[in-house]
């Protein structure tokens, strides 16, 4: 029998005046059944930012399946945007097929459009994309970015910018499948050369050029 936990939370009703929204929500999530599964030291909730498009390089799906298989086999859960399209659908299915859980942060517009991933173990509804980003960050131990478009870039730079000014200490790992992120890396380097980035952008964003490097970086960040 299919069972899905749906956590009703209206973010707009939570006070952020004291600047502690993420702390509040993280605390609430730690108290509910998202963490009922007995945790081993190596268990992690890994946020995955990625494309919700289907018509992309087939190799990206193969490499995403490899990641999801490793996550599930090692007891890690995926925290993602909860869509049933593209790499989002792929990572959710791969994690679930190998013993992990799928935690979806699902905006109202996705739910109404019938695009919610069908295999969610935990669904956290939210009002909009800004709320989704906050919840993805609050629910995760590690953040990975697979190939994606404008939405994925928005998520990456939101996490990096909030790290830069001290809201949290989490980094984003760019999984540079087939050099997909090379142009973004070049942009960051160019901005740094022009003095537009404080310090070394690698303090906020890591790059993994292959799967072995990705696994190593995940383990180092926890």
Distance (Å, whole) CA 154 – CA 198 = 19
What's the pLDDT band for 4 if we cut at 50, 70, 90?
Answer: low
Across 6-13, average pLDDT:
47
Q: Do 14 and 129 contact (CB within 8 A), yes or no?
A: no
pLDDT of residue 12: 38
pLDDT of residue 6: 60
CATH architecture label of 43-221: 3-Layer(aba) Sandwich (3.40)
160 contact partners, CB below 8 Å, separation of at least 6 = 172, 201, 204, 205
Task: State pLDDT tens for residues 123-177.
Answer: 999 999 999 999 999 999 999 999 999 999 999 999 999 999 999 999 999 999 9
The domain ranges of the chain are 43-221
Say if residue 9's pLDDT is above 90.
Answer: no
pLDDT of residue 42: 64
Say if residue 20's pLDDT is above 80.
Answer: no
pLDDT of residue 88: 98
- Interstrand relation of 77-80 and 142-145 (parallel, antiparallel or unpaired): unpaired
Say if residue 33's pLDDT is above 60.
Answer: no
Say if residue 17's pLDDT is above 60.
Answer: no
pLDDT of residue 221: 77
Global pTM exceeds 0.95:
no
Say if residue 203's pLDDT is above 90.
Answer: yes
- Interstrand relation of 122-126 and 142-145 (parallel, antiparallel or unpaired): unpaired
Distance (Å, whole) CA 69 – CA 46 = 13
Task: State pLDDT tens for residues 103-132.
Answer: 999 999 999 999 999 999 999 999 999 999
Share of the chain above pLDDT 90, in %: 78
pLDDT of residue 26: 52
SS3 at position 47 = strand
- Calculate the average pLDDT of the chain: 86
């Amino acid at each position: 029998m299919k069972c899905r936990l749906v956590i009703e939370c209206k973010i707009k009703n939570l006070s952020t005046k004291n600047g502690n929204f993420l702390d509040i929500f993280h605390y609430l999530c730690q108290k509910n059944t998202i963490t009922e599964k007995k945790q081993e030291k190596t268990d992690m909730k890994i946020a995955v930012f990625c494309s919700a498009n289907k018509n992309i390089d087939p190799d990206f799906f193969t490499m995403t399946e490899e990641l999801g298989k490793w996550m599930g086999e090692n007891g890690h859960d995926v925290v993602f945007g909860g869509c049933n399209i593209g790499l989002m659908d792929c990572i959710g299915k791969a994690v679930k097929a190998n013993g992990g859980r799928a935690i979806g942060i699902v905006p109202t517009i996705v739910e109404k459009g019938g695009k919610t991933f069908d295999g969610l173990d935990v669904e956290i509804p939210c009002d909009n994309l800004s709320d989704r980003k906050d919840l993805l960050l609050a629910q995760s131990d590690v953040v990975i970015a697979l190939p994606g478009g404008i939405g994925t870039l928005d998520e990456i730079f939101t996490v990096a910018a909030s790290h830069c000014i001290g809201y949290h200490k989490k980094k984003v790992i760019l999984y540079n499948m087939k050099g997909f992120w090379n142009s973004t890396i070049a942009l960051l380097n160019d901005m740094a050369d022009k003095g537009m980035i404080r310090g070394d952008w690698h303090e906020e964003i890591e790059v993994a050029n292959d799967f072995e490097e990705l696994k190593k970086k995940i383990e180092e960040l926890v």
